[in-house]
């Protein structure tokens, strides 16, 4: 294990415990700590990078050139670069040698370090552009107490892990102000809506936002007492100054503080409205009164929960509809999402049949288990899965989009 501070190195090697950042949890006697980053990198097969996002460039720097073709690097950092608006993936792909870019994976999900160290059951997501690489990392890290799922939606997993930290500060502020469970539930739900819009505008799969890296990590960080970001928000809501809070954290980093700045800039660049995220930036970095910001957000123009553009855009225009553009415009989690390529056995005629069936009676396709599709050599059942994955309310939209995209 590489550690910057000599106190941490000495404690791990002599006491077999990280007394600075994880006191009370013994480390395996075989674990050795070193302040020589080059030696740690060259002597390893699997590298876990847990450096805070804002320090990745200065920490990895020249050492990235020491990476070997047989190694795999797994990033566990969650954030967006304040200087460049790059995700961790984009930072690493810029830093590592070009031939090593295919060796990068990303771990995210609801995983408080103290609970993992204590052997508490934990489930996370490992993402990589190459599914075989994701599967290899998944197998290496999984055990009966730590279960890994895998994904190829790297940008979705990355943004979900970064953006939820800002929302956790919002939930902490809400709790600090004395607001109740209703307010927290509203923040989590509408905050996820904003996170999904931003992520999809960057090319993410909206379904990732409902998984471990999205909703799973969001719920944990917004409600858990071990959450650094929620704790920062809680103390802000109780009237403490941000500078004093950060000074008392003993070197621990709440990623949501710098990420709030990055999100505001990113949202403006993408043209995505994020009133909750923008409000949090005002409270954290502009000194706005939290009570007044809450009133402003709650008093905005009333609107539908699910933007009508999404349904109109998906259903109205078959082959000319770009699903990603529609999602970027509205982006709720309920949006129908379909695979980029059809399963081999799936025929366009079967999907046309699915759309026709849903148009006559949307419930039949959901309640009858795709029974009518069995006359198409079982292909209809696959189409039903695509519809169910999008949610019951989007049955017709999913079928129509599937037809238009898979015809191409």
Q: Is the dihedral of CA 250, 37, 89, 272 positive or negative?
A: positive
* CA atoms of 164 and 220, how far apart (whole Å): 10
93-129 pLDDT, tens digit per residue, is 999 999 999 999 999 999 999 999 999 999 999 999 9
Q: Is the pLDDT of residue 369 over 80?
A: no
Say what the pLDDT of residue 402 is.
Answer: 36
Domains of the chain, by residue range, sit at 6-151, 156-330, 340-407
CATH architecture, domain defined by 156-330: Orthogonal Bundle (1.10)
Question: Would you tell me how many other CB atoms lie within 10 Å of the CB of residue 143?
Answer: 9
Say what the pLDDT of residue 356 is.
Answer: 53
Strand ranges of the sheet holding 72-75, from the earlier edge strand across to the other edge: 46-49, 72-75, 104-108, 122-127, 146-151
The two beta strands, 104-108 and 122-127, are: antiparallel
The listed CATH number (3.40.718.10, 3.30.70.270, 3.40.50.720, 3.40.50.300) that belongs to domain 6-151: 3.40.50.720
Say what the pLDDT of residue 405 is.
Answer: 34
Q: Which of 78, 129, 164, 312 is catalytic?
A: 164
Going by C-alpha positions, the residue among 132, 133, 122 that lies closest to residue 217 is 122
Say what the pLDDT of residue 320 is.
Answer: 41
Q: Is pLDDT larger for residue 258 or for residue 148?
A: 148
Say what the pLDDT of residue 128 is.
Answer: 98
Say what the pLDDT of residue 306 is.
Answer: 76
Residue 164: active-site member = yes
131-156 mean pLDDT: 97
Q: pTM for the full model?
A: 0.74
Say what the pLDDT of residue 62 is.
Answer: 84
301-344 pLDDT, tens digit per residue, is 998 887 776 545 444 434 343 444 444 444 433 333 333 343 44
Q: Percent of the chain having pLDDT more than 90?
A: 64
Q: Is the dihedral of CA 252, 140, 215, 400 positive or negative?
A: positive
79 dihedral zone (left: phi>0; alpha: psi -120 to 50; beta): left
Say what the pLDDT of residue 272 is.
Answer: 92
206-260 pLDDT, tens digit per residue, is 999 999 999 999 999 999 999 999 999 999 999 999 999 999 987 777 888 988 9
pLDDT band at 20 (very low <50, low <70, confident <90, very high): confident
Scored b (16 or more CB within 10 A) or e, 178-208 reads ebeeebbeebbebbbbbbbbbbbbbebbbbb
Residues 6 or more apart whose Cβ sits within 8 Å of residue 265: 85
Say what the pLDDT of residue 57 is.
Answer: 93
Say what the pLDDT of residue 395 is.
Answer: 36
Scored b (16 or more CB within 10 A) or e, 85-95 reads ebbbbebbeeb
Q: Is the dihedral of CA 73, 76, 78, 83 positive or negative?
A: negative
Compute the C-alpha angle 374/375/379, nearest 5°. 55
């Amino acid at each position: 294990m590489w550690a910057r501070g000599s106190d941490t190195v000495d404690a791990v090697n002599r006491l077999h415990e990280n007394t600075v950042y994880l006191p009370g949890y013994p480390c395996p006697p075989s674990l050795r700590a070193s302040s020589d980053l080059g030696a740690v990198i060259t002597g390893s097969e699997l590298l876990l990078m847990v450096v805070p996002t804002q320090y990745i460039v200065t920490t990895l720097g020249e050492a990235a050139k020491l990476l070997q073709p047989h190694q795999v690097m797994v990033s566990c950092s969650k954030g967006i670069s304040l200087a460049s608006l790059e995700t961790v993936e984009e930072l690493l792909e810029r830093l590592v040698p070009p031939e090593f870019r295919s060796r990068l994976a990303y771990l995210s999900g609801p995983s408080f370090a103290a609970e993992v160290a204590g052997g508490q059951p934990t489930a996370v997501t490992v993402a990589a552009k190459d599914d075989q690489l994701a599967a290899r990392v998944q197998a290496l890290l999984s055990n009966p107490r730590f279960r890994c799922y895998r994904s190829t939606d790297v940008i979705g997993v990355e943004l979900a892990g970064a953006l939820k930290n800002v929302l956790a500060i919002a939930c902490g502020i809400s709790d600090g102000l004395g607001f109740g469970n209703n307010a927290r539930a509203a923040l989590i739900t509408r905050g996820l809506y904003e996170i999904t819009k931003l992520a999809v505008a960057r090319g993410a799969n909206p379904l990732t936002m409902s998984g471990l890296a999205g909703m799973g990590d969001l719920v944990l960080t917004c409600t858990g007492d071990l959450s650094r970001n929620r704790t920062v928000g809680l103390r802000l809501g109780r009237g403490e100054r941000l500078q004093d809070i950060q000074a008392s954290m003993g070197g621990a980093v709440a990623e949501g503080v710098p990420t709030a700045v990055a999100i505001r800039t990113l949202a403006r660049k993408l043209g995505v409205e994020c009133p909750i995220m923008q409000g949090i930036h005002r409270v954290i970095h502009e000194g706005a009164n939290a009570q007044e910001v809450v009133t402003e957000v709650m008093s905005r123009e009333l609107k539908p929960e699910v933007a009508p553009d999404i349904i109109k855009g998906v259903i109205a225009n078959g082959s000319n509809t770009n699903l990603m553009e529609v999602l970027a415009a509205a982006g709720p989690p309920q949006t129908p999402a379909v695979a980029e390529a059809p399963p081999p056995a799936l025929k366009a005629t079967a999907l046309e049949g699915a759309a026709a069936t849903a148009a006559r009676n949307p419930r039949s396709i959901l309640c009858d288990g795709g029974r009518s599709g069995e006359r198409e050599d079982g292909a209809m059942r696959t189409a039903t899965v695509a519809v169910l994955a999008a949610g019951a309310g989007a049955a017709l939209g999913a079928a129509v989009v599937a037809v238009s995209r898979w015809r191409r």
